[in-house]
Amino acid sequence: MEYKFSDKVSSLKASAIREILKFTADPEVISFAAGNPAPEAFPTERIAEISAELLQNDPILALQYNVTEGYTPLREFLKEWLSSKNCFHKEFDDLIVTSGGQQANELSCKVLLNEGDTLLCESPCFIGSLNAFRSYNVNLVGVDMDDDGINLDKLEHALKTQPNVKILYLIPNFQNPTGRTMSYEKRKAVYDLACRYDFIILEDDPYGELRFSGENIPSIKSLDTEGRVIYSSTFSKLISSGFRTGFVSAPAPIIQKIVVCKQVSDVHSNIWAQVVSHRFMTTIDRDAHFNKLREIYRRKSELMCSYIDNEFSDKITYIRPEGGLFVWCTLPENCDMNAFCSKAVQEYKIAVVPGNSFSIDENETSHSFRLNYSTPTDKQISEGMEILARMTRDILDK
Amino acid sequence: MEYKFSDKVSSLKASAIREILKFTADPEVISFAAGNPAPEAFPTERIAEISAELLQNDPILALQYNVTEGYTPLREFLKEWLSSKNCFHKEFDDLIVTSGGQQANELSCKVLLNEGDTLLCESPCFIGSLNAFRSYNVNLVGVDMDDDGINLDKLEHALKTQPNVKILYLIPNFQNPTGRTMSYEKRKAVYDLACRYDFIILEDDPYGELRFSGENIPSIKSLDTEGRVIYSSTFSKLISSGFRTGFVSAPAPIIQKIVVCKQVSDVHSNIWAQVVSHRFMTTIDRDAHFNKLREIYRRKSELMCSYIDNEFSDKITYIRPEGGLFVWCTLPENCDMNAFCSKAVQEYKIAVVPGNSFSIDENETSHSFRLNYSTPTDKQISEGMEILARMTRDILDK
């Protein structure tokens, strides 16, 4: 038979990055295309200990159904922890545990937007979120960025011209894909616009704890006096991405609706991972653990950037990240970025992600590509960046 | 600020069962309202062994991101296993691992239905699925059941009169809430109607392996020559419900779309649970394990039914289940079912689920209530059913 799919999903495609990752099955290819945490960042021994004790002493807790909102002690811990970072307001916020940060963003969209309503986001933007929003047939509008975050004039223009703007989606810290961090001034200005134009800010903060240089900047959620910010984060980069354990702090009425939608989506998130996460976060020296992660990513980032600084064609510009997992490189305007990325993987056996994968309109011209330093080993970074540097010189300097 | 939610979720309420479960926090209340597997049905020791070995020898596999489709060895196992039960057709079906059976049903609806399209289901019907369908603003139409499953005349009437019928949702084995099993003749007739009226059957089979009396009946999927059946099931009642590990077998084009939607929903399901499930299913004596589960539920079911047979007012009728977790009891027509259920929990301290929780239109009159025998201990069943029996006699026979 012939299958007819719903309008909202019929044009939805698998992430373009998945297509690139297929090349990386070739053992000769060195991949800078993924976004996985460094394997050495997983606290494997402590997780094994906690899990063994849990399955020994409290197996039914780890195996039985639990409540949709999330494992209660984990929720209580998260409320306190996020409070201490000003990302949870005890007076009006509530909190839910989600199946990764991805579900947090998807459900926020489902709960708040009708088909045709407008969701604004940074351009370029994280592809996983873009596709989640696309799957609800919303009017998705990208707003260009400056080096310190979204361009305020263009944002205000979009607010004035787009219909029913309900959500502005932002990754203020070490944005995926650009690695950019939004300045404190811009965070305040964006929040003011939210109050003036009456929309919700969806602040996605998967990398916030992974700052390895520069000063911490308060979250937009910390500025939230009116209850307009949904703050989502995840343990994916702090404990384990395979856990699929994320969390959302937002005004209680929004959390209530997200709970109902999560209940019909997957009843609750894997409970073993929630209990292990809770026991991990409450029994380790968190500062020491996070510092260890920051040190891993600082080292890998500096290693990667040293090749760009010293060996890339100087026609390539890039944004030096202060945290997170990615470096955003830009080719000169006369260079065909898609041809560059294809050549990189096919001839030079180096996989990078073409910038237009992160465009709101995929046909838009982009001159950038994304490099990831968390997944490859240091040796792969050195070898791969050496080759990529040679390629940039071959193509741009000859 | 005042929050405006999307049309599709604004009228969506948390499951009515959750409201009843609040009463069960009272330690005096004996609950027959849940639907949890019996704790003794969880193979806790074997899971602990497999998990310990996995986290010791292959921790990165258990903690890192994995592919959306599901852990490859688990998918391969499931294809073979479902093939052997004629629930997977190698020529045209594909398979995805989902976050429980709930996600399988929710994504099937998202993928195939526009707002306003019709989804038909049995009436009464599992509330979790009803709410999932409601969350996509579809035209949800219930079709009355006979003792051997959905009423075919009423089904055909709905097919002729409802707009854009895309899916018929069924739980053919030990349906939740009625415990009814659809006859083989009806399964064939329903499949023929699907071919004639060109719709998809969503066959939800969470309890199929839990048959403890009577003969196995082939699935509707086994009759699927045209690629019109989406078959979903779960390990929730076979290994662990806290795992949130389900699976869907369906024609490849449908699986492809479900994969894309699952990617934007939660990227992939918890990978530790997937690997443990795979190793469990491929290293144990499955027949022995399933027989142990069947024996647990046979014993509990017979214990519960013995009280209905011997001690309930004989004005109450019920459906004797051949498997699954539930008994469906019906009061005489002159008895107010909601008042009965309220009195049961408030005065007699016995929680049951009022039948209209499972109605497509919750204002519909129902004279039935659902009892669950998997969650309470044998002692709780005996004590609670003794009290409930006394209540039925107090109310109906005096």
CA proximity to B352, closest of B29, B16, B93, B32? B32
Nearest to B6 among A9, A114, A227 (CB): A114
In angstroms, what separates the C-alpha of A26 from chain B's closest C-alpha? Answer: 17
pLDDT at B106: 96
Nearest to A267 among B102, B110, B270 (CB): B102
* CB pair distance less than 8 Å for B272 and A242: yes
Q: Average pLDDT in the B358-374 region?
A: 92
Query: b or e along B355-381 (b: 16 or more beta carbons within 10 Å of the residue's beta carbon)?
Result: bbbbbbeeeeebbbbbbbbbbbeeeeb
* CB pair distance less than 8 Å for A112 and B264: no
* CB pair distance less than 8 Å for B55 and A56: no
3-class DSSP assignment, residue A103: helix
CB atoms within 10 A of CB B343: 15
* CB pair distance less than 8 Å for B267 and A260: no
Q: List Cβ neighbours of B168 (8 Å cut-off, separation of 6 or more).
A: B119, B120, B121, B155, B190, B194, B199, B200, B201, B202
3-class DSSP assignment, residue B70: coil
In the predicted model, residues of chain A with pLDDT beneath 70 are 18
Q: State how far the Cα of B289 lies from the Cα of B281, in Å rounded to an integer.
A: 10
Residue B398 pLDDT more than 90? no
The DSSP output letter for B223 is: G
Dihedral angle computed from the Cα positions of residues B235, B137, B219 and B47, in that order, rounded to the nearest 10 degrees: 0
* Tokens matching residue A114: 């009708």
Q: State how far the Cα of B349 lies from the Cα of A145, in Å rounded to an integer.
A: 61
Nearest to B244 among A111, A131, A266 (CB): A266
Q: State how far the Cα of B238 lies from the Cα of A53, in Å rounded to an integer.
A: 23
For residue B110, list chain A residues with Cβ-Cβ distance below 8 A. 6, 8-9, 135
Mean pLDDT of chain B: 96
Q: Average pLDDT in the B311-336 region?
A: 97
For residue B12, list chain A residues with Cβ-Cβ distance below 8 A. 257, 260-261, 264
Question: Considering only residues 187 to 216 of chain A, which have any Cβ-Cβ distance to chain B shorter than 8 Å?
Answer: 198
Q: Residue A336 CA to chain centroid, in angstroms?
A: 27
For residue B270, list chain A residues with Cβ-Cβ distance below 8 A. 99, 242-244, 269-270, 272-273
**At which residue do the structure tokens 């709101």 appear?**
A360
* CB pair distance less than 8 Å for B270 and A266: no
* Tokens matching residue A340: 């560059």
* CB pair distance less than 8 Å for A63 and B56: no
Residue B15 pLDDT more than 90? no
Q: How far is CA A163 from CA A158, A159, A283, in A?
A: 9, 8, 48
* CB pair distance less than 8 Å for B273 and A270: yes
Nearest to A15 among B111, B113, B263 (CB): B263
Looking at chain B, the whole-number percentage of residues with pLDDT higher than 90 is 93
Whether the bond between A332 and the residue before it is cis, its omega within 30 degrees of 0, is: no
3-class DSSP assignment, residue B142: strand
Nearest to B36 among A15, A65, A117 (CB): A65
| CA-based end-to-end distance of chain B | 55
β pairing state of A165-170 and A149-150: unpaired
Q: How confident is the model at residue B361 (pLDDT cuts 50, 70, 90)?
A: confident
* Tokens matching residue A74: 């984990």
Q: How confident is the model at residue B26 (pLDDT cuts 50, 70, 90)?
A: confident
pLDDT at A33: 94
* CB pair distance less than 8 Å for B44 and A63: yes
Q: Average pLDDT in the B204-215 region?
A: 97
By C-alpha distance, the chain A residue nearest B127 is: A264
pLDDT at B199: 98
Dihedral angle computed from the Cα positions of residues A241, A243, A244 and A248, in that order, rounded to the nearest 10 degrees: -100
Nearest to B264 among A3, A132, A260 (CB): A132
Q: CB-based contact (8 Å) between A237 and chain B?
A: no
Nearest to B260 among A13, A51, A117 (CB): A13
Q: List Cβ neighbours of B1 (8 Å cut-off, separation of 6 or more).
A: A198, A226, A227, A228
Strands (E), chain B: 30-31, 93-98, 118-123, 139-146, 149-150, 165-170, 200-204, 229-234, 246-251, 317-319, 326-330, 350-351, 353-354, 368-372
Estimate the share of chain A in helix, then strand, then coil, as percent rounded to the nearest 5.
Answer: 45, 15, 35
Question: Considering only residues 345 to 374 of chain A, which have any Cβ-Cβ distance to chain B shorter than 8 Å?
Answer: none
pLDDT at B210: 97
For residue A272, list chain B residues with Cβ-Cβ distance below 8 A. 242-243, 270, 272-273
For residue A134, list chain B residues with Cβ-Cβ distance below 8 A. 264
Looking at chain B, the whole-number percentage of residues with pLDDT higher than 70 is 99
Residue B21 pLDDT more than 80? no
For residue B257, list chain A residues with Cβ-Cβ distance below 8 A. 5, 9, 12
Query: b or e along B73-108 (b: 16 or more beta carbons within 10 Å of the residue's beta carbon)?
Result: ebbebbbeebeebebbbeeebbbbbbbbbbbbbbbb
Interface test with A, best of B264, B268, B293, B325 (most A CBs within 10 A): B264
CA proximity to A65, closest of B300, B375, B31, B328? B375
Give the amino acid at A267. Answer: V
Angle between helices A337-346 and A16-23 (to 10 degrees): 30
Q: Residue B121 CA to chain centroid, in angstroms?
A: 13
* CB pair distance less than 8 Å for A1 and B103: no
Q: State how far the Cα of A73 lies from the Cα of A271, in Å rounded to an integer.
A: 12
For residue A97, the surrounding DSSP H or E stretch is strand A93-98
* Tokens matching residue B313: 């007012």
Q: CB-based contact (8 Å) between A110 and chain B?
A: yes
pLDDT at B362: 74
Nearest to A264 among B48, B131, B272 (CB): B131
The DSSP output letter for A323 is: B
Nearest to A1 among B6, B227, B273 (CB): B227
| Cβ–Cβ < 8 Å for B24, B33 | yes
* CB pair distance less than 8 Å for B55 and A36: no
In angstroms, what separates the C-alpha of A371 from chain B's closest C-alpha? Answer: 18
pLDDT at B165: 98
Q: List Cβ neighbours of B370 (8 Å cut-off, separation of 6 or more).
A: B33, B177, B326, B327, B328, B329, B352, B353, B355, B357, B358
Q: How many CB pairs below 8 A link A and B?
A: 238
ipTM above 0.95 for this complex = yes
Q: Average pLDDT in the B374-393 region?
A: 98
* CB pair distance less than 8 Å for B55 and A51: yes
Angle between helices A252-266 and B127-134 (to 10 degrees): 120
pLDDT, one tens digit per residue, over B38-75 is 999 999 999 999 999 999 999 999 999 999 999 999 99
* CB pair distance less than 8 Å for A63 and B13: no
Q: List Cβ neighbours of B160 (8 Å cut-off, separation of 6 or more).
A: none
* CB pair distance less than 8 Å for B261 and A135: yes
In angstroms, what separates the C-alpha of B334 from chain A's closest C-alpha? Answer: 34
Give the amino acid at A65. Answer: Y
β pairing state of B229-234 and B200-204: parallel
Residue B254 pLDDT more than 90? yes
Interface test with B, best of A264, A267, A276 (most B CBs within 10 A): A264
Q: Residue B162 CA to chain centroid, in angstroms?
A: 25
Question: Considering only residues 22 to 61 of chain B, which have any Cβ-Cβ distance to chain A shorter than 8 Å?
Answer: 36-37, 39, 42, 44, 47-48, 51-52, 55-56, 59-60
3-class DSSP assignment, residue A170: strand
Q: State how far the Cα of A181 lies from the Cα of A321, in Å rounded to an integer.
A: 8
pLDDT at B335: 94
* CB pair distance less than 8 Å for A260 and B14: yes
Nearest to A63 among B8, B47, B226 (CB): B47
Rounded to 5 degrees, what angle do the CA atoms A257, A127, A324 make?
95
3-class DSSP assignment, residue A180: coil
Domains located in chain A, CATH noted: 10-43+288-396 (3.90.1150.10), 45-283 (3.40.640.10)
